[in-house]
Amino acid sequence: MGIFDKLANFLRLKKKEINILCIGLDNSGKTTIINRLKPEKAQAQDIVPTVGFTVEKFMSQSLNFTVFDMSGQGRYRNLWEHYYKTAQAVIFVLDSSDRLRIVVAKEERGLPVLFFANKMDCKDSLSAVECTKKMGLDTIRDKPWHICASNALTGEGLPEGVAWLTGQLNS
Amino acid sequence: MSSRVDASSDGENQRDEEESPEKSIWLNAHLDPMACLYTFSTSISLADLNADSDYKLLVADLGTGTFDMKLKVFKGTSLYMESAIIDLPIALVSFYMDTNDPRTPAIAVASGPFIYVYKNLRPYFKFTLPPLSVNAVEQDLWNQAKEDKIDVHVLIEMLESLKNEGSEGMLSVRSLKLLSLQPEEVESFANVHKHTTLKRQTVITCMGTMKKSVADDDAVSCLVIGTESKDVYVLDPEAFTVLAKMSLPSVPVFISVNGLFDVEFRIVVACRDGKVYTLKRGSKMAKACIELAAQAVGLERTGKSIIVGCMDNTLQCYSTKGKKLWTVYLPSNILTMSLMDHKARGFKAVMVALSNGEVRIYKEKYLVNTIKMSDAVTALKFGRFGREDSALILITKGGGLFVKILKRTATFEGKDLTPGPPPAQSIKLNVPKKTKLFVDQTLRERDSASGMHRTFQHDLYLLRLMSARSYVSALQKSLNPISSSATEPLKLSAQVQGIGPAFKLTVNLQNISSSVPSSKLLITFQFDDSLYALSKPCIFVPLLVPGLMYAYETLVECISDKGISDVIKVFVLHQGNSIPVITAVINMPVSEALVIV
Ligand SMILES: Nc1nc2c(ncn2[C@@H]2O[C@H](COP(=O)(O)OP(=O)(O)O)[C@@H](O)[C@H]2O)c(=O)[nH]1
Ligand SMILES: [Mg+2]
């Protein structure tokens, strides 16, 4: 059973359809994370870097999952805003090993709620606390947010984030 | 509780504003003031070294300027690899030398007469510039020295005279070195070197790349190098043979290459003689196209224009034909220049680093952005770094490495800051229509211009005559209130008080000479006795001490009830002389009717 199924189960009880938007700079590991969250049998083995942008939609029981993947050119980034309206929750994936572009991620922060400081296994990666500081998350006060370090290759850290998201949607 | 949170979030916002005072279009991605880099724009490059679209920064570091020269590779914010370079690096380029997959580019570092080529970050090939022919006289001298026919001092003397003949650039490095040695070192130097064959080698002064036959981003490129021997070479990317050799009248210092080697190309070079030359495919000699007023410190091409930064603090733009298009005057010296080519937006501009720490971005002649750095910038490069397409690399004089990223939302708006007519000048005024009267007058003026002029002149002469006459009569009758006569320098003023019918007339008299007192003066009045009656028609003035102001009063009664007024003249006379010394004319106010209470 995929980790996300727990959330799906909860949502099915409520008979609610939900759109989750997964955004972040290119190569941050969105596709890998989404893949991890899918039911195990649907998980792909190889993930190739997304070029340009793709919108991936899949159903996980009652869950409507929308992945919006953007390229570093930023040409597509202004489209995010249009998808915010339809999304009940937003996952923002950070590449914690790309120190150079953390400022760009900060610029594009928007209104997400769950941050994954991904690639925590990379030797040069920033900790979740460092990411919080660099992203200026401590200044968000008008909406709930959460950050957790993750490794999309192994799935480490993902359950913690999903648990938090479930709790938020519950209340 | 909630108010406390609000207050602190306000404080946060304020701090954010302070940190970005002018809403900069740049994000500060990386700051390392202690990176200890010593390099210039021609010696840095951005390249996808591992073909993983994570672009690396390549820096040919001059080290201390004498040793510790290194090729440094940065991956993101950290140093990825470094490798020693034997001599001072002059230029660094990255280029694709083959069509193998994965598409990893090679790095070429020019240093002295050599080009070191690195592939996969490992030394791959060393290219040496072809040797030049040795001066026959010089060769002969060394041969004689070898056979001990002449001694070292004669050799030095002869070489010196050869050098002074103006062929310094034609001598071999060995001869030049010998000439620069201390007297005690020459003997051993000559003895060591005279047995080897004499070679003349030149050094590289600048380097660029040129795509060979296709214009793709990762197409195979030739190296284009300029040398101290006033030549430009185009090298084959695979075999490193000389594909083309072209000559210049002077030593090239900045090079800019456009086009394809197999199709058509144009090489623009700024030379040490202060001129810019163009070389085309098939041409053996350069064509001078621009004569600069000052030495070039940078050369860039955008489209059809050549932009040159000069030592006289100007940025000048020329067409490819050599016609000057514009000049921008800068507030301080130009240290380096670089092209900003933002392909995703089709935006091309020239970045100019100044000695006052500014980096200015000019789109055509318009200043579109200024970055203020704490230290002067010596190397600039805009391009893809890491996974970011619009990164700007800045290396400062103090060795700092700074990486800025252009905001996605950034816009460039340029204003023309060059002096010229103010914009108000081009606003049309709302001029009213010509009336019939105006037209008639204009016609009349045109028809009788000479008559009008004559009338005007006539009246003007009359006016002048009249004013001259009244001036003369005023002088003769002493009608002016200040006496200019040397014997009685006096000043007179008078005033009237009251509303009538009774007035008080005050006469102020002052001796304006510095030391001579005036005496035997009296004041009289001239008036219409049917209108006015004066209490004291004649006042005897005692001795006037120089400088003091004396006031004399008399009451004036208006004895007419017709409501008219007249003038009263005040005369100051010298006793026994009927011509007044000074005169004042007082305009009496109209008297109010006598009110009996
Ligand atoms: N080391 C490491 N690599 C990761 C992790 N997550 C993703 N990657 C790698 O990062 C690259 C980009 O991932 P991808 O999911 O395509 O990123 P996307 O562009 O955001 O969709 C792939 O090569 C992944 O294997 C992680 O947690 N650790
Ligand atoms: Mg992807």
HSE, side-chain direction, 13 A CA sphere, residue B525:
26
> Does residue B74 sit at the A interface (CB-CB below 8 Å)?
no
Sequence-distant (6+) residues with CB within 8 A of B160 are: B179
Closest approach of chain A CAs to the CA of B250, in angstroms? 43
What mean pLDDT do residues B130-150 have? 85
Q: For residue A49, which atom of ligand 1 is closest to its CA?
A: 16
What is the C-alpha separation between B312 and B15, in angstroms, rounded? 41
Question: Strand pairing partners for B79?
Answer: B74
Nearest protein Cα to ligand 1, atom 3: A119
pLDDT digits (tens, 9 = 90+) for A84-113: 777 777 888 889 888 888 888 887 766 567
Closest approach of chain B CAs to the CA of A154, in angstroms? 22
pLDDT digits (tens, 9 = 90+) for B7-54: 333 333 333 333 344 578 899 999 999 989 999 999 999 999 999 889
Cα→Cα distances B518→B392, B486, B574, Å:
91, 11, 10
Question: Which DSSP helix (H) or strand (E) runs through A79?
Answer: none
Q: Which residues of A touch B344 (CB under 8 A)?
A: 73, 75
**pLDDT score, position B334:** 95
**pLDDT score, position A4:** 65
CB-CB contact of A148 with A101 (8 Å): no
Residue B420 has pLDDT above 70, yes or no: no
**pLDDT score, position B266:** 92
Interface touch B408/A139, C-beta < 8 Å: no
What is the C-alpha separation between B134 and A32, in angstroms, rounded? 66
What is the C-alpha separation between A159 and A148, in angstroms, rounded? 10
Q: For residue A151, which atom of ligand 1 is closest to its CA?
A: 27
pLDDT digits (tens, 9 = 90+) for B237-272: 988 999 999 999 999 999 999 999 999 999 999 999
Interface touch A107/B5, C-beta < 8 Å: no
**pLDDT score, position B12:** 37
> Does residue A129 sit at the B interface (CB-CB below 8 Å)?
no
One digit per residue, pLDDT tens: chain A, 171 residues? 566 666 666 655 554 566 777 888 888 888 888 888 777 766 766 766 665 566 777 665 555 666 666 555 566 677 777 777 777 778 888 898 888 888 888 877 665 678 899 998 988 888 888 888 888 888 877 778 889 899 988 888 888 888 887 777 766
**pLDDT score, position A63:** 58
> Does residue B5 sit at the A interface (CB-CB below 8 Å)?
yes
Instruction: Locate B479 and state its tokens.
Output: 């009608």
CB-CB contact of B378 with B396 (8 Å): yes
Closest approach of chain A CAs to the CA of B321, in angstroms? 36
3-state secondary structure of B530: coil
Q: How many CB pairs under 8 A join A and B?
A: 58
Q: For residue A32, which atom of ligand 1 is closest to its CA?
A: 15
Q: Which residue has the tokens 């040496």?
A: B128
**pLDDT score, position B335:** 95
Q: What is the mean pLDDT of chain B?
A: 86
Cα→Cα distances B8→A111, A133, A135, A143, A145, Å:
20, 17, 18, 16, 18
What mean pLDDT do residues B128-153 have? 85
Q: Three-state SS across B367-420?
A: EEEEEECCCCEEEEEEEEEECEEEEEEEEECCCCEEEEEECCCCCCCCECCCCC
Candidate from A21, A22, A27 with most ligand 1 atoms within 8 A of CB, to mutate:
A27
Instruction: Locate B157 and state its tokens.
Output: 């003397």
Question: B217: CA distance to ligand 2 center in Å?
Answer: 24
Residue B224 has pLDDT above 60, yes or no: yes
Q: Nearest chain B Cα to A106, which residue?
A: B27
For B159, phi then psi, to 5°, come to: -65, -40
> Which one has a higher pLDDT value, B98 or B489?
B98
* DSSP for residue A139: G
User: Who lines ligand 1 at CB under 6 A?
Assistant: A 24, 26-32, 47, 49-50, 69, 118-119, 121-122, 151-153
**pLDDT score, position B16:** 35
CB-CB contact of B567 with B531 (8 Å): no
> Does residue B19 sit at the A interface (CB-CB below 8 Å)?
no
Nearest-CB residue to A99 (from B53, B76, B344)? B76
What is the C-alpha separation between A83 and A111, in angstroms, rounded? 11
CB-CB contact of B512 with B545 (8 Å): no
What is the C-alpha separation between A104 and A170, in angstroms, rounded? 32
For B179, phi then psi, to 5°, come to: -70, -25
**pLDDT score, position B232:** 93
What is the C-alpha separation between B181 and B306, in angstroms, rounded? 43
3-state secondary structure of A95: strand
What is the C-alpha separation between B328 and B312, in angstroms, rounded? 11
CB-CB contact of B319 with B276 (8 Å): no
- With CA atoms as reference, report the closest residue to B233 among B241, B524, A109, B24: B241
> Does residue A107 sit at the B interface (CB-CB below 8 Å)?
yes
What is the C-alpha separation between A33 and A27, in angstroms, rounded? 11
**pLDDT score, position B126:** 93
| A120 in a known ligand binding site | yes
- Per-position DSSP letters for B300-369, written without gaps between them: EEETTEEEEEETTSEEEEEETTS-EEEEEE-SS-EEEEEEEEETTTTEEEEEEEETTSEEEEEETTEEEE
| A72 in a known ligand binding site | yes
Cα→Cα distances A144→A3, A65, A72, A112, A130, Å:
22, 21, 27, 9, 19
Q: Nearest chain B Cα to A100, which residue?
A: B29
Report percent pLDDT > 70 for chain B. Answer: 92
Q: Nearest chain A Cα to B74, which residue?
A: A100
CB-CB contact of A94 with A157 (8 Å): no
Cα→Cα distances B333→B313, B325, B330, Å:
5, 21, 7
- Of the listed ranges B366-375, B479-488, B575-584, the least confidently predicted one is B479-488
What mean pLDDT do residues B306-313 have? 94
> Does residue A79 sit at the B interface (CB-CB below 8 Å)?
no
Nearest-CB residue to A98 (from B344, B387, B407)? B387
Rg (CA), chain B: 46
Closest approach of chain B CAs to the CA of A71, in angstroms? 10
Q: Nearest chain A Cα to B76, which residue?
A: A100
Q: Which residue has the tokens 């050549």?
A: B306
Question: A52: CA distance to ligand 1 center in Å?
Answer: 16
Residue B319's pLDDT band (cuts 50, 70, 90): very high
**pLDDT score, position B128:** 92
Nearest-CB residue to B389 (from A73, A136, A141)? A73
Q: Which residues of A touch B9 (CB under 8 A)?
A: 139, 141
Residue B1 has pLDDT above 70, yes or no: no
* DSSP for residue A143: S
Interface touch B30/A74, C-beta < 8 Å: no
Instruction: Locate B301 and state its tokens.
Output: 């091409």
| A2 in a known ligand binding site | no
Nearest protein Cα to ligand 1, atom 10: A29
Q: Which of B3-17, B314-328, B414-428, B543-557 has the highest mean pLDDT?
A: B314-328
Interface touch B29/A100, C-beta < 8 Å: yes
> Does residue A5 sit at the B interface (CB-CB below 8 Å)?
no
